[in-house]
Amino acid sequence: MDNFRTHLTRRSWIGNGLSSLAGIAFADLLSRDHVQAEAIASTTRLHHPPRAKRVIQLFMAGAASHVDTFDYKPLLKKQNGKPWDPGEPVELFQSTPGACMASPWHFKPYGESGKMISDIVAPLGDVVDKIAFLHNVVAKTGVHSQATLLQTTGFQLPGFPSAGSWISYGLGSENENLPAFVVLPDHRGLASNGAKNWANAFLSAEHQGTVIRPGNETPIRDLFAPESDFITPGNDVAGLETLRSLNLAYAEKRADDDRLAARVRSYELAAAMQISATDALDVSDEPQYIRTMYGLADEGSQIDDSVINTKAETEFFGRKCLVARRLLERGVRFVQVWSGNDNGHPRRNWDSHENVQRDHEPLARGMATGAAALIKDLEQRGMLEDTIILWTTEFGRMPCSQGSKGRDHNPFVFTNWLCGGGIQGGSYGPSDEWGYKPQSSSHRTEVYDIYATILHQLGIDHTRLAVRNNGIDRRLTDVHGHVLKEVIAS
């Protein structure tokens, strides 16, 4: 099997006679030194010269409507209110097809390309020529949990590593004081599947996403001891040392199980993060014009969110985008930024069955402000050229109405976009005149193609980044995928 990397595992050292407590600690140290050395030497070990070295995934949980944001369909306005007939039977997720429904917002041309985008994502008009819009992306299901897993892991079922975990595994870490893979969830809760969207699965535990909540009183849970008259800095350290010793003694008797060594390493990483992560999260030293560009509010996390509103959504998403940039500057490889949580009431996600205007407008304006600022900020720092931004969602929404104001799920076509890291701007793979399916049934884009392209830009052949699990060589792209060469700048 032609795997991308051969790891020096703790198991191989322990199995060769280093069975004492000191041996386990020494093996763990050597393993970490080896991983760090791999990261330093990675540019000479990749399959081809990379154009990028880090990734940000912006995920719109609940299914953002392509026909209300980036995929302009004048026919919807022309046929608004009339019976919608695509010429074939349509099975929807939770409704029957309603009338043709025009977008509640106007579309305007932006940039030298004249790309038509909606008023609710207008801030992205300033950078629209740098973005590659993929309008023919298809999903395999209209069920949130499965479709979200497909976009985050390449599989519809749980038990597979996320894209961030694969990239952490493939490239290693550039900073031993920060994790390679960081997740910035919606502050109101996790999206469908929860932590499965950033799980390491059968990869080593060091490659799972580390959750950080910018703006929260405790952005990283359990990083610091709780306030207490009993707990002092001295006995806190002593307690952690005792726990470490017990864990190592336990691991000594179970040399074939490296999970505990990974947990010990996580404690050490947490100690390092007490300084490095808190520094990355502190945006107070950013110039005012940067904080304004990202849409940060003076109230911060105390902003009024009792009713969904644009100012709050801009603060929430913009702060995560700014923190993401600061994490990337410090060597984090993959940052996953979420907009929207799992379904609840009042709705705080993109799953706009009842009222697309009520939900999408504040979410989209907030997202577009933060995403546009991120692109501009990375460019002015010289980082956009080697950073890939992936904007995605689990599927799109239908061109017909659900009720009178909502839209049902559309897994048959939706939009993703890419920016930076050697990606050239433009619109690729159009959808049909309704925004219902790809214009050509033989020309469609799948998540495997998007990840194959991202890995290619990182210097990795997606067919060779494989790990054998249960007798099968598993990949992020499963057994599919091809590089989207048309979106790669020459």
End-to-end CA gap in the chain: 32
Answer yes or no: is pLDDT of 3 > 50: no
User: In one letter, which amino acid is 347?
Assistant: R
Answer yes or no: is pLDDT of 379 > 50: yes
Q: Are residues 308 and 362 in contact, defined by beta-carbon separation less than 8 angstroms?
A: yes
Q: Nearest 5 degrees, angle CA 90-CA 91-CA 97?
A: 65
Tell me the sheet residues that pair with 182: 210, 335
Query: Which one has a higher pLDDT value, 216 or 322?
Result: 322
Tally helices (H) and strands (E) across the chain. Answer: 11, 14
Q: Could you tell me where the beta strands, DSSP code E, fall in 204-300?
A: 210-211
Quote the mean pLDDT of the chain.
Answer: 87
- Percentage of the chain beyond pLDDT 90 is 69
Answer yes or no: is pLDDT of 386 > 60: yes
Q: Are residues 259 and 239 in contact, defined by beta-carbon separation less than 8 angstroms?
A: no
For residue 279, the number of C-alpha atoms closer than 13 Å in the C-beta half-sphere is 10
Answer yes or no: is pLDDT of 322 > 60: yes
Q: Which residues of 58-72 are buried (b: 16+ CB within 10 A; e: fewer)?
A: bbbbbbbbbbbbbbb
Highest mean pLDDT among 5-14, 134-143, 276-285, 298-307: 134-143
pLDDT tier for residue 387 given thresholds of 50, 70 and 90: very high
CA distance 462 to 455: 6
- Percentage of the chain beyond pLDDT 70 is 86
Residue 7: what pLDDT?
36
Residue 224: what pLDDT?
67
Residue 366: what pLDDT?
98
CA distance 148 to 140: 11
Angle between helices 259-281 and 21-40 (to 10 degrees): 50
Q: What's the CA dihedral at 338, 342, 346, 352 to 10 degrees?
A: 80
Answer yes or no: is pLDDT of 374 > 70: yes
CA distance 328 to 192: 26
Answer yes or no: is pLDDT of 262 > 80: no
Residue 229: what pLDDT?
76
DSSP H or E stretch at residue 223: none
List, for residues 184-199, the tens digit of each pLDDT value. Answer: 999 999 999 999 999 9
Residue 243: what pLDDT?
80
Q: Where does 95-155 have alpha helices with state H?
A: 144-153
Could you please report the per-residue DSSP string of 7-53?
Answer: ---HHHHHHTT--SHHHHHHHHHHHHHHHHHHHHTGGGTSSS--S-S
pLDDT tier for residue 205 given thresholds of 50, 70 and 90: confident
Answer yes or no: is pLDDT of 369 > 60: yes
Answer yes or no: is pLDDT of 356 > 90: yes
Answer yes or no: is pLDDT of 151 > 60: yes
Residue 5: what pLDDT?
40
Residue 264: what pLDDT?
66
C-alpha Rg value of the chain to the nearest Å: 23
CA distance 67 to 333: 32
Residue 142 makes CB contacts below 8 A (sequence gap 6+) with: 92, 93, 395, 409, 410, 411
Sign, Cα dihedral of 482, 483, 485, 487: positive
What letter does residue 478 receive in the DSSP assignment?
T
Tell me how far CA of residue 489 lies from CA of 115, 129, 385, 484, in angstroms. Answer: 18, 13, 11, 11
List, for residues 457-489, the tens digit of each pLDDT value. Answer: 999 999 999 999 999 999 999 999 999 999 999
Query: Which one has a higher pLDDT value, 323 or 347?
Result: 323
Report helix, strand and coil shares of the chain as percent, to nearest 5: 40, 15, 45
Query: Which one has a higher pLDDT value, 173 or 468?
Result: 468
Q: What is the mean pLDDT of residues 288-307?
A: 94
